[in-house]
Amino acid sequence: MKRRTFIKNTFLGLTGTGMLGGLYTWQIEPFWLEFVQMKMPVKNLSDLLVGKTLMQISDIHVGKRFDHRFIIDAFKEAMAFEPDFVVYTGDYVSTHQGEVQYKELDEVLQHLVKGKLGTLAILGNHDYGRNWAQQEVSDIIAQRLADQGITVLRNEQKAFSGLTFTGFDDYWGLNFDPEKAMQQYDPTKANVVLCHNPDVCDLNVWKNHQGWILAGHTHGGQCKPPFLPPPMLPVKNKRYSAGKIKLDNEKTLYINRALGHLWQVRFNVRPEVTVFTLEKG
């Protein structure tokens, strides 16, 4: 093969590979949903709750940057698991030039996955609108969730069938108050904490909590080179990327990779719904 022909064929091959890679990250992986299943040992868990399931859904980001019908289809798939508990860990919308797509959000919320024993939600930073500073946006979203029968925890605690959930309002939002959220914390109960931004794990707010903290926010970086950390994470502690992370004092953090996207691009970080099976810890 002549040198010029070789260079031409190599260039065309690389161009084709790049186009295929771009198509994959844009049109395939963002919609290639993974249901991650794992065990959740919980201290003080009632015998009646052993074997029950807890589903975590996070960061659906209804907005203008991808088709919200993907979220509806994902919810329909998730319903097949018939979860006992469902928790939503924030970021229901993405604003576009200060505009929230309430119509599309309402359509999505009509299809929410609900738990047989309880369904709870917390807010994320995007639920506070532009610059995370619009109180009225957070109040509207919280009310829309409540209208669908979802218990929204804003620095408060609620027990369902012997499992106690503590929900923090968002770290970057206007109402973050971990002291209020933890003031009724009882270590003799079976506890799970919901906290959108995992950076909160590094704050001195935990009152010797020993157990699970479920978070979202990072999307796992959305793009991650093989065998390397994701280049972009919206957290101070870059250890907090995705998945299960053991912390000090017997705390376990789980960061969901998000169901939706800020931008319709993913590589090596598939969208996720997490299904935990409860067991005694």
Predicted confidence band of residue 228 (pLDDT cuts 50, 70, 90): very high
* pLDDT at position 4: 56
Q: What angle do CA 123, 124, 129 make, to 5 degrees?
A: 100
73 in the Ramachandran plot: left (φ > 0), alpha (ψ -120 to 50) or beta? alpha
CA distance 230 to 225: 7
Q: What is the mean pLDDT of residues 68-95?
A: 98
What size, in residues, is the chain?
A: 281
* pLDDT at position 208: 87
Residue 163, C-beta contacts closer than 8 angstroms, at least 6 positions apart: 42, 45, 46, 49, 85, 117, 118, 190, 192, 278
Amino acid identity of residue 100, one-letter, is V
* pLDDT at position 123: 98
Q: What is the mean pLDDT of residues 212-237?
A: 96
- Topology of 34-280 in CATH? Purple Acid Phosphatase; chain A, domain 2 (3.60.21)
Given a contact cutoff of 8 angstroms between Cβ atoms, the answer to whether 62 and 144 are in contact is no
269 in the Ramachandran plot: left (φ > 0), alpha (ψ -120 to 50) or beta? beta
Amino acid identity of residue 152, one-letter, is V
Amino acid identity of residue 249, one-letter, is N
* pLDDT at position 7: 39
CA distance 281 to 272: 25
Predicted confidence band of residue 97 (pLDDT cuts 50, 70, 90): confident
Domain ranges of the chain: 1-31, 34-280
pTM equals 0.93
Answer yes or no: is pLDDT of 10 > 90: no
If 0-12 CB within 10 Å is exposed, 13-18 middle and 19+ buried, where does residue 248 land? exposed
Closest CA to 89 of 117, 129, 135, 126: 126
Lookup: tokens for 218: 């990072």
Name the β-bridge partners of 168.
none
* pLDDT at position 2: 55
Given a contact cutoff of 8 angstroms between Cβ atoms, the answer to whether 50 and 91 are in contact is no
User: Can you say how many angstroms the Cα of residue 5 is from the centroid of all Cα atoms in its chain?
Assistant: 50
**Lowest mean pLDDT, pick from 48-57, 164-173, 201-210:** 201-210
* pLDDT at position 12: 43
> Using one digit for the tens of pLDDT, what is the confidence trace for 26-36?
999 999 999 99
CA distance 96 to 61: 11
- The rounded mean pLDDT for the chain is 93
Residue 239, C-beta contacts closer than 8 angstroms, at least 6 positions apart: 245
